[in-house]
Amino acid sequence: MTRSGEGVRDVVLLGSTGSIGTQAIDVVRSAPDRFRVVGLAAGGERVDLLAAQALELGVEVVAVSRATAAQDLQLAFYAAAQSRGYRSGEFAVPKILAGPDAATELAAWPCDTVLNGMTGSVGLAPTLAALHAGRTLALANKESLVAGGPLVSAAVQRPDQLVPVDSEHSALAQCLRGGRADEVRRLVLTASGGPFRGRRRDQLADVTPEQAMAHPTWDMGPVITINSATLVNKGLEVVEAHLLFGMPYDRIDVVVHPQSLVHSMVEFDDGSTLAQASPPDMRLPIGLALGWPDRLPRPAYGLDWSTASTWEFEPLDAEAFPAVALCKAAGERGGTAPAVLNAANEVCVAAFVAGRLPFLGILDTVAAVVDECPARERATLAEVLESERWARARARELVDERTRVRP
């Protein structure tokens, strides 16, 4: 395996057509002497983009989760080659893996680093496959840890094998370099507050999906953006921080920081607090994760200290936004409870976007499903997936019931 300062690292990108994946390719473009992409995976809905990425990067293998997309991908690859003026024999057609297990197979492909930028708990099996294969895992798929925390932790073979990509956890990892583990008092995750910061709970009853999608800082996919509006995203990050850094839940706090320039902080026993600050540009934590423990030369630009600015920090309104408390409770319960919460939330977010569930109904329904979920302290991958199936089915039932009684 290529280590720090030892040449080009071979990289596999899972979720290459999504927000994290496309920005990771930007990072690779900026450092061709550091990284070589050997494999790409995507769902199969954007085959034209996936084909163009594969052609540009000259990858060995491409994976699509939708089996019927394999032929479309092959045709799109030839079309992309033709549009770029390539002649027959001037390019190599990559191997194509297709089907629901394609990304999992690709995650174990020979390489140095796997970046998992998939969305949802479908990323859990690829995460486990990458770790079991001994690859360094740059993890942006937080649902892997949330749904399968103990499984993921057990699969980690060395201290630096799992590197976080989320800006908050990347910030914590950087700040933790400033002291010993036994000197840490607490971790502080920052939250932008989303588009509804400052609103009371009763002012959230009639918000629309369009309003919830208008995030003030980050440009993200729809699921993560809605989760940021409810603050479920921040609650899941608390669970993730607990699992990544071994910190008890009562020593992980959340503070609202609307400027999104301080990405998280670590407070030490002597009262010192170290904060990581940078513009809200995901290329920085992506570049750090791909190059860990080394920093890349300017994958993103730093802060402008030549102009005056104000940074605000506010306490979290737990009454209007109970998601963090709900996620902490599920995390403390452990077992499959976090997986149930995440799966139910995915269903409820989809129902909200479709106009079948009000904004406040998302967390109300998720809480009801978590309360009903069977207690299961330890679980295999199959049992985690079964718990998720139950949670999704139960969430759909509750959404249907609510829809039927709507006036």
Compute the distance between CA of residue 173 and CA of residue 168 in angstroms, rounded to an integer. Answer: 9
166: annotated binding-site residue?
yes
Q: Is the dihedral of CA 377, 382, 388, 392 positive or negative?
A: negative
Compute the distance between CA of residue 300 and CA of residue 122 in angstroms, rounded to an integer. Answer: 29
19: annotated binding-site residue?
yes
153: annotated binding-site residue?
no
221: annotated binding-site residue?
yes
| Phi (first) and psi of residue 38, to 5 degrees | -105, -15
Compute the distance between CA of residue 211 and CA of residue 35 in angstroms, rounded to an integer. Answer: 39
210: annotated binding-site residue?
no
Residues paired with 98 in a beta bridge:
64
- Roughly how many angstroms between the first and final C-alpha of the chain, as a whole number? 61
215: annotated binding-site residue?
yes
Q: Among residues 166, 174, 288, which one has the least CA distance to residue 227?
A: 166
Measured from the Cβ of residue 70, the count of other Cβ atoms closer than 10 Å reads 19
167: annotated binding-site residue?
yes
227: annotated binding-site residue?
no
Cα–Cα distance list, 52 to 27, 44, 62, 73, 81 (Å) = 17, 13, 11, 10, 8
88: annotated binding-site residue?
no
233: annotated binding-site residue?
yes
228: annotated binding-site residue?
yes
234: annotated binding-site residue?
yes
237: annotated binding-site residue?
yes
Could you write out the DSSP letters of every residue in 247-260? --GGGEEEEE-TT-
20: annotated binding-site residue?
yes
User: What residues form the annotated binding site for Mn(2+)?
Assistant: 166, 168, 237
User: What residues form the annotated binding site for NADPH?
Assistant: 17-20, 43, 141, 143, 221
User: What residues form the annotated binding site?
Assistant: 17-20, 43, 141-143, 166-168, 192, 215, 221, 228, 233-234, 237
User: What residues form the annotated binding site for 1-deoxy-D-xylulose 5-phosphate?
Assistant: 142, 167-168, 192, 215, 228, 233-234, 237
